[in-house]
Every structure is written in C-alpha cells, then in structure tokens.
Structure 1
Amino acid sequence: MSGTPATTDTPIIKALDDVVGFGERVVSVAPVRLDAPDRTLPLDVRVSAPVNGTALPVLLFSHGNGWSHDGYAPLTAFWASRGFVVVQPTHLDSRRDGIGFDHPGFGQVWTERHADLLRAMDQLETIERAVPGLAGRVDHERVVAAGHSWGAQTVQMLLGARVLDSTGQAGQDYSDQRVTAGVLLAATGSGGQELHPFAQEHFPFMNPSFAELVTPTLVVAGDNDQSKMSSRGPDWFTDAYTYSPGATDLLTLYGAEHSLGGIPNWEAAETTDENPERVALLQRLTTAYLRSALDSTDAGWARATAALAGTGAELGRIDSKIL
C-alpha cells in the first residue's frame, strides 16, 4: 500500500509529491505487546514501516479520545510509506477498553497516555523485532512525535508543555529530550474560566502552559473547528503556536473542522468535514516538516511552504515565527 487512496490529483498535491516523493510499500503489525507491569491494562501498539530503507526515524503517534492503534491510517500509513517507523499505542481511554469519563481511574488517564509514549521509546528493540525485516533498520536516535486532539495534548507534554495547577503555577516537567520535533493536530488551547464546566470537571490537563514548550513544533488547526470544551472559537486551537517559543510554524486549514478532513480513518462516522484533498495536503505537509526538522540540510519544508502559497492558497496557509 502507498498510504493514501488515489483520489487527489490536483496541482498542489502534485507539487507536494515533488517534495516528499512517492511511497514505499508498508508493512504493519499489530498488536505488539509492550512491557508495562504497572499499567491497569496491557499495552499494545501498532508498528508500521516501509519495506525498504535504512536508518529509519521513529514517529510516535498518540490518538484522539476513544480511538486505538487501529485508527488514523490516512496519516500513519502515509508517514510509514515515506520512511518513518510509526508506533501507535492504544491508550487507556480507547473505547475498546471501556475506561470512560465515569470510570474511577479516568482522572489519571492523561498521565498514563504520556507514560505509554515513554514505554514505546524505552522498548524500541522489542518493536524492531516484532516486525519482519525491520531489525537493524531503525535509527533510535531520531525520534519525533505527533498527536491529534487529546493525543496532541499528550505529545505536547513530551515537547515541554506543562499543566498549570490550581494556583496558576506550571506543574511537573514531562518533556523528553529524545523527541526532537513534533506535530500538534487540533491541539486544545488555554484553559481557565473559558473551559466549559464538563471540561473543567473531567480534564484537569486542559490548563496548559505553553511557555516551556521549546522543541521545534508544527501546529495544525482548522479555521472551522468549534470545540464543545471551550467558549473560545477556532483560534483556541492555535494557542500552542501563539504562546510557545518552540512552535515556530502554524498550518491553518481553511474550512477544516476537528477531524481535519478525515484523519481519524477513511469513512469514519465522526468526520464532519470529509475532504480527501485536505487529508492529502496534510499528509504531505507534515511529512515535509518532520523530515526538515530531523535534517537541517533538508529544504523540503521551505519548498512545501512555497508550494502551498503558490498553488494551494485556497486550501490553507502557513505562518512562521522564523524570518
């Protein structure tokens, strides 16, 4: 598989294919059971990788609320086809595990999500051995991370963002220096009194401090994403870019809602803004960003940014703090 159905043949997608190239076939293995003796439930991950290539970087992916390692194929299969070893844990909030808002252990799920990503990094050798033909082809020193919605909040912890306590002070530092860059997809913004009562009660982590997020990061937001968790408008999802020194780039997708065109899965019921071209755009732009973040000599992100401004301006725009 190449990572995306052949439904987009537009000038901007062709231009971006010139930047990121065409994909390798992908092998994907799940479930891969990781060691997690202190976890409420066993930890399973999906591992996807190209069938060819060496010195492959690792991409940790954290899913949105309720999903599992079987979701987000529109992105994860594409990334794998373009040279990443994608590792997707199933977090404890997955619908398949039944730990919902009313579960007595739900209040600690946000920290367990973070721990899942650490466990994956700690057990990369186990992950390599689980995929036929992958052993010896992974570069353990090149690790990036991406997440959607709650998954973006999980990933931003690795990148340096903290959670404010009841006194407004930044709490524990959950960052990990092994992660050198990140992509935050529809990441929730600042908290406080603008959070709706349900969010205030169930999501203590929705009071982030972005000032400590210093890792290079791309923030992706839809300009039609209206959250039920905050009284703010779509600009709420750009706070990580606005307030973080590390989030130097913001991709705004015009007309996009929370699913950003359909990234949770092909034909997923929760997608309210299905748009294959938007998904194809996101696949390629995130690939270009992460490649350039891993290699300072890679000009792919600059080329992709120019391509969007030149032939895809009606789909979105990229803002950058780097002059």
Structure 2
Amino acid sequence: MREDAIPRLGYSRRRFTAMIVGGFATGVVTRAIRPAEAAPEDVRIADLDWVDARRDRRVPARLYWPSPGVPAGPVSLIVFSHGLGQSRTGYSYLGRHWAASGYASLHVQHVGSDGSVWAGNPFEVLDRVNVAADEREAMARAADMSFALDRLLDKDSAFAAFIDRARIVAAGHSYGANTTLIVGGARVVREGRTIDRRDMRFKAGIVISAPPFYGERDLHAVLAAITIPTFHVTATADVIALPGRRSPVQDRLEVYEAVGTTRKALVVFQGGSHSIFTDRLLTGGVTLNPQVKQATAEGALAFLDLAFRGDPSPLSSWSEAWSPLLAVAPTAYLVPESSRHPSRRYRPRS
C-alpha cells in the first residue's frame, strides 16, 4: 500500500475470594489451562457456559480477571467479540495483558460464526461463511454481547459487585469489530425500519480491523449515530480475503472516517496483516507479530485513559514508544481541562 494512500489524521481479598468460589459453585465452568496457555501470575481465567433461553442460543465466554489486590478499586470491564471462525479461547494475548493491567476481559463466543464455520465438508465452506456473515447472525452477535454483560452484572453474579459500570468497553476484531460498532450505535434501515442494537452500557469501543458493512452503500448513515469514544487499529497490509469477500485496508480507514463521534483515534501499523491481531504467531513475521500484539494491547488501554480519565499523555507516550512500527500514529482528541482526572502513566514496553 502506498504511503500517500493513508490519511494523516490528526476490595478485600477475603470477600473477593469467597464470591469467586461462590460463582464457580453456581454455574461457572472452569477448565485446566495447558502449560502453553498458562496465565500470568496476576491473572485468573474462568470459562463460563451460558445459554440464552429466550433465543435458545448458547453463549460461551472466557473471563480474564485480575488477581485479588491488583485493581485499586472497581474493575473496568472489556467485553470482546471474536472474528469469523474464532472462539472464546482466541485473542488470549489481549485478555491476559488487560487483566494483568487491572481490567477484566470477557471474551464472548458467537456460536453461529465461530470455529464451526471451518468444520465439515470443505466444498460447503462458502455456504457456511455466507450464513455466518448474514445480517441475522450480525444482530445475534450483538445480542450475545448484551446477554453476556447481563449475566456478568446480574445480582447473583460473583463478579457484579467488583465491576465499574461507568467503564464498560466493547471490543472486537474483524467481524467482532463490526459487532462492537453495532452495540456502540451503528444502524441499518430495512424496509423503512431502523435496526438498532445499541447497548447504552458500553461507554467506549476498541475497533480492530473493521470490515465494511457489506451491502451498505452509505457507510456514514450506518455509523453516524455512534457517539462513544472509539479506538481504531489496522495495518498497511490488513487485507481481508475470505471466500466470496475481499476487503482492502482502505475499508478500515473509511469505517474510521464514517464513525460519527469526534472522540476517536486511529492507529495504522506498518506492515502486519489482518490475522496478525489473532493468536497466530507467524503471520506478519516472527519479529513484527509479537510487537504488534503487545502494542495493540497497550495502545487500547492508553486510549481508555483518554476516554475515561481525559488524560492524553498515556496515548502520547505510547505513540512515541512504538513510533518505529507506526504508519499512522493516533492523535488524541481534545478534552476540556475540567474533565481530566489523574491516570496511570504509560509504561514503555520492556
């Protein structure tokens, strides 16, 4: 991709432990983590197997949670939506990093567009992709996000009392980025009726490699109603190539431009790929791959310092630390001085 094609845009430990144990006893299913998947010492992982009875749909999830004593107060929550053909176990580098930094990260699995897309007769994969990318599944994914949040915030949940409800974030990669935009306020019109799955509980969005809204001619009309702060991440080689669907990196930039809020920031890594943001270890190269992963995980939290605390300095420090990797560095939007609150300062990577 030519450089000129990219725009230059400007608690108590005892009480917590008791509640966790109680939560596991009332329906949370935990699974052993293999040594290669072992979480950092200050991260706890639990698999939750929920069913939305109203829709007769399973909603599995994996929760990454800081160990007791890591957060200095209520825990901010990120609800993450995976890309097409992925699952709750994917994007573990994000869950681990965010939980180790004091955020909870709930990774929702969408059973209509998860790994089952790649299973079965290989000659029918195009049909399965088309079904998974159908508008009904897109809306079902948004409903999965809201349902999972309902369950985690339920009065009987072991985690509800520890979550800061003013700092709940929607996040996702690829198809999950579209899901993030939908719960953040994206709208489509069908037969004169507006379809809106916005969930007002989500106060910010992390949008990684967002595809276009296929079939929509007016992207601005779809995304103009989004008012929450959004952090957009892509790469110069971020090309989507799926059976029957191809999307160049320019689509990611157009999604960013079309989002209605001015409280947004864009990161474009130099090189990379669409799948570099998944748990794949080699895509993009053995050196660049882990760097982009770490930079993405850190950059999201630096942006949330801007969104929730009005402090642009962590994002500025992040941009400086990772400048060798950036084709486009994020520009912090203006925040009134009266809205700023003290925040943690960005700590450069080791």
Question: Which category describes the TM-score, using the shorter chain as reference length?
Answer: 0.7 to 0.9
Contact 1:164 1:208 in 2 (8 A): no
Percent identical pairs in the alignment equals 24
Aligned with 2:267: secondary structure? strand
Match of 1:20 in 2: none
Match of 2:15 in 1: none
Q: For residue 159 of structure 1, report the CA deviation from its aligned partner.
A: 1.3
Give, as a single letter, the amino acid of the residue that structure 2 aligns with 1:111: M
1:41-120 residue pairs with structure 2 within 5 A?
41-51=57-67, 52=69, 53=71, 54-92=73-111, 93-96=113-116, 102=127, 106=132, 107=134, 108-120=136-148
1:320 aligns with 2:340: no
1:124 aligns with 2:149: no
1:208-247 residue pairs with structure 2 within 5 A?
209-228=222-241, 233-246=248-261
Q: Which has the larger radius of gyration?
A: 2
Q: For residue 258 of structure 1, report the CA deviation from its aligned partner.
A: 0.2
Provide Cα deviations, 1:26-61, integer angstroms capped at 9, x if missing partner: 00001x123410334322111111103230011000
Contact 2:98 2:297 in 1 (8 A): yes
Give, as a single letter, the amino acid of the residue that structure 2 aligns with 1:95: G
Paired with 1:258 and 1:110, the residues of 2 have a C-alpha distance of 20
Match of 1:13 in 2: none
Paired with 1:241 and 1:170, the residues of 2 have a C-alpha distance of 25
Q: Tell me: CA distance 1:292–1:322, structure 2 relative to 1, closer, same or farther (3 Å).
A: closer
CA RMSD of aligned residues (A): 3.2
Match of 1:17 in 2: none
1:180 aligns with 2:180: no
**Contiguous gaps of at least 5 residues in structure 1:** 6-22, 195-205
Contact 2:152 2:160 in 1 (8 A): no
1:171 aligns with 2:188: no
Paired with 1:264 and 1:306, the residues of 2 have a C-alpha distance of 24
Q: Tell me: CA distance 1:105–1:300, structure 2 relative to 1, closer, same or farther (3 Å).
A: same
Aligned with 2:212: secondary structure? coil
Match of 2:186 in 1: 161
Contact 2:315 2:332 in 1 (8 A): no
Give, as a single letter, the amino acid of the residue that structure 1 aligns with 2:80: F
Paired with 2:273 and 2:60, the residues of 1 have a C-alpha distance of 29
Match of 1:18 in 2: none
Relative contact order (C-alpha < 8 Å, sep 6+): which is higher? 1
